[in-house]
Structure 1
Amino acid sequence: MIKISILFAFFLFTGCDSSGSKPSGPVVVPPVEVPVVKLTDEELMDLVQKQTFAYFWNYAQPNSGMARERYHPQDPTYDEHIVTTGGSGFGLMAIISAMSRGYISRDQGTERLNKIANFLATADRFHGAWSHWINGNTGQVIPFGTKDNGGDLVETSFLVAGMITVREYLKNGTTSEKALAQKFDDLYKGVDWQWYTNGQNKLFWHWSPNYAWQMNFPLEGYNECLITYVMAAASPTHPIAPIAYHEGWARSGAIVSARTKYNLPLILKHNGAEEFGGPLFWAHYSYLGLDPHQLTDQYANYWDLNSNQVKIDYLYCVANPLSYKGYGANYWGLSASYSRNTDGTIGYDSHMPSNDKAVISPTAAISSIVYTPIESKALMRNLYENYNKDTWGVAGFYDAHSQQYNWSAQRYLAIDQGPEMVMLENYRSGLIWQLFMNAPEVKQGLITLGFHSGKYGF
């Protein structure tokens, strides 16, 4: 796409930001044609990872350094001050990955991380938890909904997982890096996970200073929220008791499923999607830090759980029961993303086999590369080589595409770009998994909940 050389789209360290000063990182040149020379798998993965990182570097909210909720290249000022808590947690992991690969320098990375830590230290918090959306200029909550104007524990858990990753990466560094690691450690320890049980044996997603517990959304599995219970059990300051995990999340054992699809066990009951499993981000968000290899508890083998879910999604797309154009071995992956409404306008939907709208989400297959490397690379190569003009832009692959409708959502979402870059890193080096899983309190939290890891020795 970007013909800086015949093979790669490289970042140019030139230009000025909106304030007129030199930026602290790379500027991506506009997309043009796909290179005529075929990339190797390693070159393709590096290109996708580097270009996707631009979302969290070039297009971050300037004042806070946090990840914007969304970025529309055709309308760059759209929602420009809305930053996302969970997506910024993924962004923290992405920055560590970029530092380790030399996409940015260590000094550039720590400068940005300091900006983010300082912003979060003064942003609105609700019993230690941050809101889903924050105004990147003021630090004040932006309501995600009328009653959703307070703490969002799930988004906070994604953010905290990123904080722990940053701390582990920097804690043995220079004096300034150690100080930065301590900033994130202090922020993490301020979350009052116990408050969010509301006096019950379960965690609740939301609390509002105006509406208290009226959102009434208990975290019961299975969906994307496993990491929330792990972070809550791991807290050295406000931990939850294991009974909340077993009675709340695991529904006193009712989370276990005996269903199979395509001869693959689902293992756990996917909320509202018990036949095929849910959208593929359920196999990504919690597992950007949690390494599912050889990870088990009394309810599941988490490698089997996730790889089976991804394979079922893949086999569904290959079978293509609705006869959608393009679906197959190199065009697959259903997850929550921008979508095409029936009238042709752009909406948002949680795509999965039981809610298939003829729209694939590149993040679905790319972020699944740790489970299905051959199939995920086939999807990346097909989009990059054959649908480049429609699917590739300044921050990697656009959020959604449909051959059926010859349509592309040429927009980006933080919660979709983040898992792509982080899971590519985990597939290539295992870095983020190693940092997170070796954090002492993460190990202790998992042990407290009854987890075992053959890979990490507990």
Structure 2
Amino acid sequence: MKKNLSLLAVLSLIFCALMPASSIATPSEKGKKTALSKQLEAISNQTYRYFEDFTDENTGLTYDAVRKDDGEIDPQKHTSPTNIGMYMMSTIAAEESGQLTEEEAVSKIQTTLDTLEEMETWNGLFYNWYNTDDGSLMTDWGEFISTVDNGWLSAGLIVSGQAYPELNKQTSDLVDNMDYSTLYDPEVGQMHGGYDVAEGSLTDHYYGALYTEPRVASYLSIGKGDVPTTHWWKMERTMPEDWDWQSQTPEGYTETYDGIEVFEGHYTYNDQKFVPSWGGSMFEALMPQLVMKEKELGKKALGLNNQRHVDIQIQYAEEQGYEAWGMSPAATPDNYKEFGAAPLGHEGYEADGTVTPHATFLALEYAPMEAFENIQTLKSYDTYGKYGFLDSVNVETGEVTEAYLALDQGMSIVAIANYLHDGVIRDYFHQDDIGKTPEELLEKEEFSIQ
């Protein structure tokens, strides 16, 4: 045996000694990461079957939901702008994973784009509900223009146009025509929730809280130039200290950005500081980072806050005695309901033991090993079916909701693609000037949660 180490071996030992112990993966951790990646690939492929089987082949519009009723499939043949955006991004994700060829993915999205060009709009913005068989407006469900739903359609179009340059002209034209200034109140500096076309009026409420899923619409509206940059600073991190209906009295300080005073407030839970979402759900907190580079660019603000929300969701579920975590709006056996970790919200949603798998996938990039364990637990409740995970399970009662939702299927697939392919969907979004131009907003802010 040689007694002298080679120079390379010595350098390797020194390098390992200098490395923090937490950064050196043990064989078991490496094995788990490999197992997680393989499992995620299989889950993604299985989940995309929903879009293959429940998207109208003539219009390229995906059914909103599918429920099982006495063993029979009951498809809900209507769709929303959010569903359309998630379908396009899920198709790109499926191509990235090798499930589809590029030609197949382009063909599918092209069908959807051709339908979108013929659908009825208001100032280029899309209504809440359309029939999937012909793209006609569902007038019996009202004629509402939703700010947040249009934001997700715009995001899907932007990502598609960057993923496939041959579609860029078509996607860009659709996005350019979507005039978000019509939903913006310059006096308040915030976006209305939407516009009721039949009533001819904007909603009384605004999307005033930054840390909720509509921040995507705000971000890209700024990127388009439809609303001013000041809009970003006019949204609330917490509500003002004297708003005593809040679940906590916020602490923090006032900071000035671009000449606008911003109250950098935070709540505290188990000695961890965070900026709250509205209801404390994973969906509100983490859906925007499917396309926005919050983790990469918002290291002292949104990215850090995302990590805190994941950590606290996991802690909260454990404190409640739940075997699995991941509270977010989801289908229930007879309806659809909002769930969350109450301490994380301005006004927290209730938690009754219902968890939804899409919340686990949204958290992948912040807690991969915890997600790996959670996936195994969720499968033990018999929640995994032909189209991936069913939408929710009550871990207290064991009752599984026999339903799949297009939104939740799409969030899961896109989150998996970002985890497995180095943020590929986010990269496409930020390649476009609309995603790139406002990046400074993510970089410069520092939440009071350090």
TM-score interval for Structure 1 and Structure 2 normalised by the shorter chain:
0.7 to 0.9
Is the contact between residue 164 and residue 436 of structure 1 (CA under 8 Å) also seen in structure 2? yes
Task: Please tell me whether residue 265 in structure 1 is matched to residue 283 in structure 2.
Answer: no
- 1:372-429 per-residue CA deviation (whole Å, 9 max, x = no partner) reads 1011111112223x23xx3011210000012322210010111211111111111111
Q: Which of 287, 290, 294 is 1:288 aligned to?
A: 290
Q: Which of 383, 386, 397 is 2:389 aligned to?
A: 397
Is the contact between residue 71 and residue 411 of structure 1 (CA under 8 Å) also seen in structure 2? yes
Q: Which amino acid aligns with 1:288?
A: L
Deviation at residue 443 of structure 1 after TM alignment: 1.2
SS at match of 2:207: coil
Deviation at residue 79 of structure 1 after TM alignment: 2.0
Where do 1:12-23 residues align within 5 Å?
A: none
Task: Please tell me whether residue 193 in structure 1 is matched to residue 189 in structure 2.
Answer: no
Alignment partners' CA distance in 2, 1:192 and 1:91: 22
Q: Which of 73, 82, 93 is 1:76 aligned to?
A: 73
Alignment partners' CA distance in 2, 1:293 and 1:76: 39
Task: Please tell me whether residue 375 in structure 1 is matched to residue 362 in structure 2.
Answer: no
Is the contact between residue 147 and residue 214 of structure 2 (CA under 8 Å) also seen in structure 1? no
Is the contact between residue 230 and residue 446 of structure 1 (CA under 8 Å) also seen in structure 2? no
Where do 1:46-445 residues align within 5 Å?
A: 46-73=41-68, 74-80=71-77, 82-142=78-138, 146=142, 149-171=143-165, 178=166, 180-200=167-187, 201-221=189-209, 222-235=211-224, 239-248=226-235, 256-266=264-274, 268-271=275-278, 273=279, 278-296=280-298, 301-320=301-320, 323=321, 327-328=322-323, 331-339=324-332, 346-354=334-342, 355-384=350-379, 386-387=380-381, 390-429=382-421, 430-445=423-438
Alignment partners' CA distance in 2, 1:283 and 1:55: 25
- 1:265-284 per-residue CA deviation (whole Å, 9 max, x = no partner) reads 11x2423x4xxxx1100133
- 1:174-205 per-residue CA deviation (whole Å, 9 max, x = no partner) reads xxxx2x22111111111111111145422112
Alignment partners' CA distance in 1, 2:140 and 2:412: 24
Q: Which has the larger radius of gyration?
A: 2
Q: Which amino acid aligns with 1:444?
A: T
Q: Which amino acid aligns with 1:155?
A: D
Q: CA RMSD in A?
A: 2.4
Alignment partners' CA distance in 2, 1:57 and 1:253: 49
SS at match of 1:294: helix
TM-score by length of 1: 0.78
Moved more, 242-251 or 305-314: 242-251
Gaps of 5+ in 1: 1-38, 172-177, 340-344, 454-458
Larger % of helix: which?
2
Q: Give runs of ≥4 in structure 1 deviating > 6 Å.
A: none
Alignment partners' CA distance in 2, 1:50 and 1:89: 19
Q: Which amino acid aligns with 2:307?
A: S
SS at match of 1:366: helix
Q: Which amino acid aligns with 2:439?
A: L
Gaps of 5+ in 2: 1-33, 240-259, 343-349, 446-450
Deviation at residue 445 of structure 1 after TM alignment: 2.9
What does residue 17 of structure 2 align with? none
SS at match of 1:310: helix
Is the contact between residue 257 and residue 269 of structure 1 (CA under 8 Å) also seen in structure 2? no
Deviation at residue 212 of structure 1 after TM alignment: 2.3
Is the contact between residue 339 and residue 351 of structure 2 (CA under 8 Å) also seen in structure 1? yes
SS at match of 1:40: helix
Aligned pair count?
Answer: 380
Is the contact between residue 256 and residue 269 of structure 1 (CA under 8 Å) also seen in structure 2? no
TM-score by length of 2: 0.79
* Pair 135,255 (structure 1): closer, same or farther in 2 beyond 3 Å: farther
Q: Which amino acid aligns with 2:144?
A: G
Is the contact between residue 335 and residue 360 of structure 1 (CA under 8 Å) also seen in structure 2? yes
